[in-house]
Amino acid sequence: MILAEKTRVAERVTLKHIRLSWLEARPVVQGIFALRFTCGALLADFHANGAVWPTGFAVLACWVAAMWAVYVMNGIADIVEDRENGSERPIASGLLPVRAAGAIVGVLCTASLCVAALISPWVCLLVVLQLGIGYAYSMGPFPLKGNVPGFFGAVVMLGSLTYLAGWTATGAGHIGPSLLVFGGAMSLWMGCGGATKDLSDVDGDRVAGRRTLPVVLGDRAARIIMAIAASAVGWGFLGASLMWVPALAPVGMVVCAGSVVLAIVAAAPMSHGDRFRRRRPYRVFMITQYCAHLTLMLSMILNWQSAMLV
């Protein structure tokens, strides 16, 4: 009977469901996680004078599968609030059945762990930690997403582990100051800037019992705190890069500029009103992330070219 049930579940998971699960995992978010991993690897490669890139690509595949699973898990857990907020994501809209989504999560977790175990115990540990934090964020009796400290801690850890996984994938040894400054600042940016998504999700969060900043403090106070926190990260990153890793100064300038724009948008009337307008600070946060990582990659390419010409 159990075998028959598993067979019926397997039959329901189609290529359409897999495609919908990728949409549920938010390709834009998956893209920035891949960039975080890649930048961690590039920073290690730059300082270690060469990396084992075939292994790096294998670890990246594990990481993409793990983050895919984490975000589908989140979609399963967020059905109540997503529907209250009018989300059109596949699970909330009913296009992707919860049972099929759960089966896909199971396959992704198993695949990422098995491949990671074949690579090295250290990589396997990082994947286990990432999946564990992802599960704790969304699932269980007291999910971390339900309160501000839990959200901040989980998001910062998910970012930090991603940069560390990229660095580790290259076979580099001790962690260098460039990874500490860049990875640390961008992980804090995830925690501070990422919280702006709560500005557009107040109704659903309140129904689900989540104690986000806008729910606890109200919209105005939440916006002020988010603007201050994002600005602190931006200016702090710029100052730290100028002081300890001058090569990161261009990236620090990008994040600093993004933090200023985010603060202005969060305080301005342009981010008040319907859900689309209230998500504008979050879109600034995401655009800043992409610009920062692409700036780092471009500056490193230029540095490599300069070194080759010397």
DSSP-derived secondary structure for 69-120: HHHHHHHHHTHHHHHHTT---HHHHTSS-HHHHHHHHHHHHHHHHHHHHHH-
Whole-number pLDDT of residue 44: 84
Same domain, 65 and 193: no
**Average per-residue pLDDT for the chain:** 90
Tell me the whole-structure pTM to 2 decimals. 0.92
Q: Do residues 90 and 182 share a domain?
A: no
Q: How many domains, the chain? A: 2
- Domain range holding 247? 177-310
**Nearest alpha-carbon partner for 134 in 72, 54, 45:** 72
Q: Mark which of 127, 157, 175 sits at the end of a domain.
A: 175
107: domain CATH number? 1.10.357.140
Residues 8 and 150 in one domain: yes
Pair 74, 205 in one domain: no
- Identify the domain boundary among 110, 140, 175: 175
Examine the domain organization and report whether 300 and 261 are in the same domain: yes
Percent of the chain with pLDDT over 90: 77
Q: Are residues 141 and 14 both part of a single domain?
A: yes
Interval 223-276: pLDDT, tens: 999 999 999 999 999 999 999 999 999 999 999 999 999 999 999 999 999 999
**Structural tokens at position 72:** 């589908």
Tell me: pLDDT of 215 over 80: yes
pLDDT for 305: 47
Same domain, 157 and 20: yes
pLDDT band, residue 301 (cuts 50/70/90): confident
Same domain, 158 and 182: no
End of a domain among 175, 203, 219?
A: 175
Q: What is the pLDDT of residues 162-174, one digit of tens each?
A: 999 999 988 877 8
